[in-house]
A and B are shown apart, each in its own frame.
Chain A
Amino acid sequence: MTQLILEDQHGETTMVNMGPQHPSTHGVINLRLLLQGEVIAKIDPIVGFLHRSIEKLGEMTPYPGFLPYTDRVDYLSAMFGNQVYCMAVEELLGVEVPRRAEYLRVIACELNRIISHLIAVGTMAMDLGAFTPFLHAIRERETVNDFMERICGARINYSYMRIGGVPRDLEPGLDKDILKFLDRFEKFIPEFNRLITGNEIFVRRLIDLAVIPAADAISCGLSGPNLRSSGVDYDLRRDRPYSAYPEFEFRVVTGEGYRGQTGDCYARYWVRIDEMLESAKIVRQALLGLPEGDVKAKVPRKITPPKGEVYSAVESSRGEMGCYLVSDGGEQPLRVRFRTGSFTAMTVLPKIVPGLMVADLTAFFGSLDVVAPEIDR
């Protein structure tokens, strides 16, 4: 039994449970709202409904066997969970990943970012009542899901990467198909923009709403598109370089507030739209410059990293996904901890939400692009 922790101290107020079963909470999250009329006076987010104790499972599973669990940390961008875990183990082992494998990882991750952002912008429009954009986004996502199936055999929970590289090379002809898709996708974004991004009703609904100042965004540990839309120019791919990212040219998209202000809901939406195009650029560069060579380094069958700790971080679709891995020299990690973008994004709610209308909370929450399993892990 959870206690009612909101106190009635604002005169005439109403306590409302938004969720745990609510279409706009993107999963099982309970937002306890204290309302004064239509205005939210206080919010208390209750999470943990999807806690699957992945971190405890990690301590009970041998290193290679834990990989499929990392898909389930964030099911919409499973590649990043794979990558951050593999990077942590590789760093402890001192394994150098072949360059071709790094390129293949980048291709897989950036395709994953595209489809994850497609879901993000599609569901955000759906939260506001526009259903059609979601279907357009899902249509493009299906094509990439097919590519993912051809890359690794799975459409959602990839388990693509291995400690030391990737298990197999691209099948012949796949690179041409992906390039053909990218040509189409770069035309799809303007089409999508005509459909919804530039729609005046949609824009007016989002501009100047729930502005997160840069100082708050940094203090609350926001990361990824949420941090950049507040005007903070920070991207782990560029500023804490990993994998093959230093070899590619891409622009770090920050919220400029060309409609409305920097850090409002529209900026968060726009950063994701723009990032998809940058990801497409990276995939194209990686495919055209794919080096020859092995796709997997030689690693022992039984993986026992030496004693030590490491914090690896990747720029996931939802911000910084970090893995704090501690090894005691055994076959299983002593501690494996996932730091996720959704978890930290939730901490900004009590700061920003009070003063918003109930209907605006849906827009704001959609713009944060939070995935519930990633909060709870």
Chain B
Amino acid sequence: MSDVKRMHETLSRALPDIPLEVESAQAGMSWIHVPAEHIAAVIGHLRHTEGFDYLACLTGIDTGEELQIAYTLRSLPDKTECALKISLPRDEAVVPTISHLYGVADWFEREVFDLYGVHFDGHPDLRRIMMPDDWEGHPLRKDYVFPSEYHGISAERPDPHDLLDPEYEACAVDPAPKSDSKEGSTS
């Protein structure tokens, strides 16, 4: 707790133009909220001046109303941690990259781009990492609609409870008629 407050004071003194706020919830840790457009400057300062040399975690969060990105920085020699968070609008999520500060941020940001659709400005190679390149939508968004098929592969499975019902028709899609397949194999 006190660590975050101390870091907030240090940052506010060094970067007086950037409005920073300490936030916390009912339980768990507290973090410093940073305006999205200043995140690269704040992390750059932490990296070069305060000795936070290690990016432990970078993750996106979709609260339903807005997108957030949480940065967990760590200083290996001092064994301290600093949690930062930014908020982004859902429809136009653009944030400056920090991939020039930490090598690992390259892939972390690609993951957030892939799964949340956040665009990282200045990222050298922003493309999907987990999903195929032609995938539509960003799966970890709360409003993501699950596709019913991908290149003809069905993604829908019957409810196991339905299978117990004697009235249940085993296959929604009719299998190819047997006579047709025979003809296909002989010709």
Q: How far is the CA of A286 from the CA of B55 in the complex (A)?
A: 32
Contact of A218 among B76, B79, B130 (CB under 8 A): B76
Q: How far is the CA of A229 from the CA of B133 in the complex (A)?
A: 35
When each residue 312-351 of chain A gets 1 if its CB lies under 8 Å from chain B and 0 otherwise, what string results? 0100000010101111110000110101000110111001
Is A335 a contact of B62 with CB atoms below 8 Å? yes
Contact of B139 among A53, A94, A307, A347 (CB under 8 A): A53
Is A326 a contact of B61 with CB atoms below 8 Å? yes
Q: How far is the CA of A308 from the CA of B61 in the complex (A)?
A: 13
Q: How far is the CA of A91 from the CA of B25 in the complex (A)?
A: 13
Interface size class of A (residues with CB under 8 A): 35 or more
When each residue 286-323 of chain A gets 1 if its CB lies under 8 Å from chain B and 0 otherwise, what string results? 00000000000000000001111111010000001010
Is A324 a contact of B25 with CB atoms below 8 Å? no
Looking at the complex, which of A164-172, A193-201, A232-240, A357-365 is the stretch in contact with chain B?
A: A232-240
Judged by a CB distance under 8 angstroms, whether B42 is at the interface is no
Is B26 a contact of A307 with CB atoms below 8 Å? yes
| Nearest opposing residue in chain A for B29, CB measure | A310
Is B134 a contact of A311 with CB atoms below 8 Å? no
Could you tell me the distance in whole angstroms from the C-beta of B112 to the nearest C-beta in chain A?
Answer: 10
List residues of chain B with CB within 8 A of the CB of A328. 63
Is B59 a contact of A324 with CB atoms below 8 Å? yes
List residues of chain A with CB within 8 A of the CB of B56. 221, 311, 313, 320, 322, 339
Q: How far is the CA of A219 from the CA of B52 in the complex (A)?
A: 10
- A310-B28 contact, Cβ under 8 Å, with A335-B59, A344-B104: yes
Judged by a CB distance under 8 angstroms, whether B21 is at the interface is no
Judged by a CB distance under 8 angstroms, whether B72 is at the interface is yes
- A308-B26 contact, Cβ under 8 Å, with A53-B139, A219-B104, A346-B107: yes
Is B140 a contact of A56 with CB atoms below 8 Å? yes
Is A221 a contact of B55 with CB atoms below 8 Å? yes
Judged by a CB distance under 8 angstroms, whether A15 is at the interface is no
List residues of chain B with CB within 8 A of the CB of A347. 103-104, 106-107
Judged by a CB distance under 8 angstroms, whether A278 is at the interface is no
Is B57 a contact of A322 with CB atoms below 8 Å? yes
List residues of chain A with CB within 8 A of the CB of B61. 326, 334-335
Could you tell me the distance in whole angstroms from the C-beta of A156 to the nearest C-beta in chain B?
Answer: 24
Is A51 a contact of B28 with CB atoms below 8 Å? no
Is A308 a contact of B25 with CB atoms below 8 Å? yes
| Nearest opposing residue in chain B for A44, CB measure | B125
Judged by a CB distance under 8 angstroms, whether A216 is at the interface is yes
List residues of chain B with CB within 8 A of the CB of A219. 53, 102-104
Within 128-153 of B, Cβ neighbours of A (below 8 Å) are at 128-134, 139-140
18 chain-A/chain-B pairs, Cβ below 8 angstroms:
A48-B128, A55-B115, A59-B140, A91-B28, A92-B28, A218-B76, A219-B104, A221-B103, A306-B27, A307-B25, A307-B26, A308-B29, A309-B70, A325-B28, A327-B28, A335-B59, A347-B106, A348-B103
- Chain A contact residues, CB within 8 Å of chain B: 1-3, 5, 47-48, 51, 53, 55-56, 59, 91-94, 216, 218-221, 232, 234, 239-240, 305-311, 313, 320, 322, 324-329, 334-335, 337, 339, 343-344, 346-348, 351, 376
- Chain B contact residues, CB within 8 Å of chain A: 24-29, 31, 53-57, 59, 61-63, 70, 72, 76, 79, 81, 83, 102-104, 106-107, 115, 127-134, 139-140
